Amino acid sequence: DVVSNVKKVGLEKYPRQGPRNIQYGTAGFRTRWAEDLDYVLYRVGLLAVLRSKSKGGAAIGLMITASHNPEPDNGVKLIDPFGEMLQQRWEKFATRLANASDTELDSALLEIVEAESISWETQALVCVGQDTRPSSPGLAQAAVTGIRTMGGKVNDYGIVTTPMLHYFVACINNIGSAYSEPTEDGYFKKIITAFKKLRGDKPENGKYVPSVMFDGANGVGAMKLEAGLLHLHDSLQVQLYNNGTGQLNYKCGADYIKVQQCAPVGVPQKSNARCVSVDGDADRIVYYYIDTHDKFHLLDGDRIATLIAGYLMELIKKSDLGLQLGLVQTAYANGSSTSYISKTLKVPVACVPTGVKHLHHKAMEYDIGVYFEANGHGTVTFSDFATRCICSAAEDLSLPADQLHATETLATLMDVINQTVGDAISDMLIVETVLHARGWSIEDWEATYTDLPNRQLKVVVKDRRVIETTDAERVCVTPAGLQDQINMLVKNFPNGRSFVRPSGTEDIVRVYAEADTQASADRLALQVASVVH
Ligand code: 16G
Ligand code: ZN
């Protein structure tokens, strides 16, 4: 039967390697040097089939990527039927299955089948995607073997961006009314047609220039955008750099820029030019520019969130549909962005723990939810109620012209947005739309508020799990006394704020500090790091 065949194939082709224990965390399974991941991928393939069956045969996604990490690393994560991250209860199953010995493999599978009352007869469909890493094709092969051994059907998309795969899964499962054909062409047609409609036949406006320089991190982003450019025509000029000829994520890409606070290599320096930088699998985006004094300016996820939320707030008011807008951040959001959002934009803000699933989940509580991590991962979600309201009002020709126009703009904007997950290409088009509508240059955008200087540090400790946090990671509950010590240090710095949290992706503790000057932020971060030891 299926289960003993699973064991036979697993033992022959993908035997478990070594005694290592691997965890399905915020980024799925991820390892340095893609070490011994074959058997893990084989097993994730098995699990994906069970997940699909447990969802009545809905399509499930399986994405092979290590995102912004170095080229030799790799990893995998599963995508649930709505195009969202794998449900938390199943993260435990994933960990259990990956760590079962070869002899336990069949019983581990049967445990899941029983726990979730899965019916074997249900068909299963798994959509497989991979990034551009050299190790990805071999890992995809292992996953496909796992899926087929369990009798699942495979849709192999080859090399795609992570958010494209999320989008395809949602399309196949017919989620929401605004989706299209689950192909790359369908994806580009939908988002770019809407983008062009919003811009009309006038790509210039005020100080807005329809031209950007694009740092593709030598990953999948630039490669895919090349196909998208055929749809964009003259509505937006995009110059592609780091488009795959150099090493992936090496001295370029959104993560490098955010962490190092400097421009990437491989992109020519042009004063005040609007530049975009995405990460290796194109689910994160940040903007930057270099001013006439050669100074580097970063516009990160917080900036993108405030730009989009401010614009949406205006449209929502004008459309007079009574929809509620909310913005979701993490503890890493710059304090200035938070007060700008709540005090100036008057949009309610929520703070949740790090990790896209937490932000996404919270955003869905609002009619319209904007969420972004400071690192550049984010999107906008519309509830079914909001979608229905907007779509029907957009066709109501009896509305006053202003109101109708705002409603139509909202409806079209929904088509530019990949609501399933943060999507660098879609996010770029949203930012460009808002800047165009406002007639803003990148400096105008930056002038909306001033970031508080901040510093992040990594601390190596014996066991990072001794640090437990609460209140969206802003308060430490263990070890006892640590939070009091942090509070004492913070008190000495004007506008000081600091928190510590165990990383979900590395064996370290992260320290964040902000204060009124860079020197103070640096000093506070160092002092807090020293009490973490
Ligand atoms: C993962 C998360 C990202 C988060 C980062 C934090 C997803 C898809 N990705 O990359 O959102 O910012 O982990 O890493 O959820 P850390 O726990 O090591 O700080
Ligand atoms: Zn990524």
60 and 118 Cβ atoms separated by less than 8 Å: no
CA atoms of 341 and 414, how far apart (whole Å): 22
Query: What is the topology classification, in CATH, of domain 454-532?
Result: TATA-Binding Protein (3.30.310)
Nearest residue to 388 (alpha-carbon basis) of 405, 368, 406 = 368
Q: Does 182 count as an annotated binding residue? A: no
Question: Closest ligand to 356 CA?
Answer: 1
221 and 234 Cβ atoms separated by less than 8 Å: no
CA atoms of 174 and 439, how far apart (whole Å): 36
Dump strand ranges (E) for 219-351.
237-241, 275-278, 285-290, 296-299, 325-329, 349-351
Of 67, 235, 277, 498, the active-site residue reads: 67
Write the burial class of residue 497 (CB in 10 Å: 0-12 exposed, 13-18 middle, 19+ buried).
buried
Atom nearest to 67 CA in ligand 1: 10
Given CATH 3.40.120.10, say whether it is the number of domain 301-424.
yes
492 and 517 Cβ atoms separated by less than 8 Å: no
Query: What is the topology classification, in CATH, of domain 2-159?
Result: Alpha-D-Glucose-1,6-Bisphosphate; Chain A, domain 3 (3.40.120)
Q: Is the dihedral of CA 131, 133, 137, 140 positive or negative?
A: negative
CA–centroid distance, residue 359 to ligand 1 (Å): 11
Count CA atoms closer than 13 A to 56's CA, side-chain side. 2
Query: What is the topology classification, in CATH, of domain 186-299?
Result: Alpha-D-Glucose-1,6-Bisphosphate; Chain A, domain 3 (3.40.120)
Look up the pTM and report it: 0.96
Residue 504 Cβ contacting ligand 1 at under 6 Å: yes
Q: Is the dihedral of CA 252, 255, 256, 260 positive or negative?
A: positive
Domain boundaries of the chain, sorted by first residue: 2-159, 186-299, 301-424, 454-532
Whether 2-159 and 454-532 share one fold: the answer is no
CA–centroid distance, residue 25 to ligand 2 (Å): 14
CA atoms of 110 and 88, how far apart (whole Å): 19
Q: Does 514 count as an annotated binding residue? A: no
Terminal CA-CA length for the chain: 53
| ipTM value greater than 0.85 | yes
Write the burial class of residue 101 (CB in 10 Å: 0-12 exposed, 13-18 middle, 19+ buried).
exposed
CA atoms of 102 and 99, how far apart (whole Å): 9
pLDDT, one tens digit for every residue, the chain (533 residues) = 788 888 888 889 999 987 788 999 888 999 888 778 999 999 999 999 999 999 999 999 999 999 999 999 999 999 999 999 999 999 999 999 999 999 999 999 999 999 999 999 999 999 999 999 999 999 999 999 999 999 999 999 999 999 999 999 999 998 765 578 999 999 999 999 999 999 999 999 999 999 999 999 999 999 999 989 989 988 999 999 999 999 999 999 999 999 899 999 999 999 999 999 999 999 999 999 999 999 999 999 999 999 999 999 999 999 999 999 999 999 999 999 999 999 999 999 999 999 999 999 999 999 999 999 999 999 999 999 999 999 999 999 999 999 999 999 999 999 999 999 999 999 999 999 999 999 999 999 999 999 999 999 999 999 999 999 999 999 999 999 999 999 999 999 999 999 999 998 888 999 999 999 999 999 999 999 999 97
- In 10 A of CB 221, how many CB atoms? 35
CA–centroid distance, residue 28 to ligand 1 (Å): 10
CA atoms of 31 and 17, how far apart (whole Å): 14
